[in-house]
Amino acid sequence: MSQDPPAPPNDAAEPEPEPEAPAATTPDAAAATTPDAPAATPEAPGPAVATQPDRSRRLAIVVAAVAGVVILAVIGAVAVANQLGDDLPEAGDCMSNDADPTEIRVVDCGSEDAAWTVIGQDGTWTEREFDEADRNRICQAFPKWDNALWLGEETDDRSGEGTVVCLTVAGPE
């Protein structure tokens, strides 16, 4: 059995028709394929589909928020330290005895204004902790203290931190 070879192309034959475009299934597709059709109007948006936020994005937001809080805390601590800085009295310094505690200041121990001698510091306390503390809790490391002074930034809710300075009555050296 032999097969006939394919027929040579016939120049007079009609060209094959181009394949037709698939039928449009949406109004936009119909407008695109039908030149005489008016422009399609966009469809009304459907109901919003709830999507779960990207987990890594949420983590990045949380990390940024925590970092921001830490940075603000450090800036606040530096600002308070700069405000008080070298003004914090140290052991051996003498202090005045003003009626207004905010006016008490370090003075020369030989001056008439010297009413108190600093014998040490009792760490960092909030204003509330200092105000509500039992007298036996304050300046425990300094048994001969006569007075204690809280030096810090006052806040409405008394949550500001400050340094407790332990004092004894200034006397002749």
- Are 94 and 146 in a shared domain? yes
In the block, residue with structure tokens 């002749």: 172
- Are 108 and 130 in a shared domain? yes
Residue 113 near residue 144, CB atoms below 8 Å: no
Q: For the segment 36-94, what is each residue's pLDDT rounded down to a tens digit? A: 655 556 666 655 555 556 888 887 787 777 665 556 544 544 444 444 455 789 999 99
Sheet holding 161-169, edge to edge: 106-107, 94-95, 116-126, 161-169, 147-152
Is the model's pTM score more than 0.95? no
Q: How many residues does the chain have?
A: 173
- Are 76 and 120 in a shared domain? no
- Are 98 and 151 in a shared domain? yes
72, part of any domain: yes
117, part of any domain: yes
24, part of any domain: no
Those residues with Cβ within 8 angstroms of residue 157's Cβ, 6 or more apart along the chain or in another chain: 128
- Are 92 and 158 in a shared domain? yes
8, part of any domain: no
66, part of any domain: yes
Q: For the segment 101-136, what is each residue's pLDDT rounded down to a tens digit? A: 678 889 999 999 999 999 999 999 999 999 999 888
- Are 95 and 78 in a shared domain? no
Lowest mean pLDDT among 2-16, 89-103, 138-152: 2-16
19, part of any domain: no
Residue 61 near residue 76, CB atoms below 8 Å: no
Tokens read off for 86: 């070298």
User: Where in the sequence is the domain holding 121, given as residue range(s)?
Assistant: 88-169
